[in-house]
Amino acid sequence: MGPAILACFDRLFSGRKLTLLGYNRQRIPGNWKLMQENIKDPYHPGLLHTWFVTFGLWRADNKSQLLMDAQHRHAAMITTRGAQGKADQVTQVVSFKESTQLHDPRFLDIVSEPWWDGPTAVTLTLTLFPSVIFQQQVNSVSTRHMARNHGGR
């Protein structure tokens, strides 16, 4: 992984107890490389995903950083929340849904991460070539594994 990507991996899996909430499997006929590249695009979440825009996770003042290993196989995209609050321009984005609410808004609370020497991330996405993605969105972690479809099974 190299030191930069390993540091992000260690940040994500810092010895905390993780709770498995469930599985979601999808079979999509497509090129697995599209998913790996899609994750490295900091613009698409705000344009396509209601969640990011509606709850203020994607804003024009967010800071994004992309780290890569020396061979450019593995990557970490880190996005931190801007300091300006909910910007008026965000409410004009098509994916913004004012009526969408959470049952427990604490889900969006940014929790201090004393094991990480840096700003708390809104998202941390690790892509490990060729087929694994680890993604932290606020206080939730998800994994994606792209497997090759063998003969339509």
Q: Locate tokens 């994606």: which residue?
A: 144
Q: Output the pLDDT for position 153.
A: 47
Q: Output the pLDDT for position 43.
A: 67
Q: Output the pLDDT for position 150.
A: 56
Q: What are phi and psi of 130, to 5 degrees?
A: -100, -5
How far, CA to CA in Å, does 59 sit from each of 45, 76, 94, 141, 153? 10, 20, 13, 21, 41
- Residue-wise pLDDT for 117-152, tens only, equals 666 677 888 988 888 889 887 777 888 877 766 555
Check: pTM over 0.75? Answer yes or no. no
Domain ranges of the chain: 1-12+29-110+139-145
Residue 150 DSSP label: -
- Residue-wise pLDDT for 64-123, tens only, equals 888 999 999 899 988 887 666 555 556 566 666 778 888 888 877 766 666 566 666 778
- Residue-wise pLDDT for 23-69, tens only, equals 887 777 776 666 777 777 766 666 667 777 777 777 777 788 889 99
What string of H, E and C letters represents the secondary structure of 129-141? CCCEEEEEECCEE
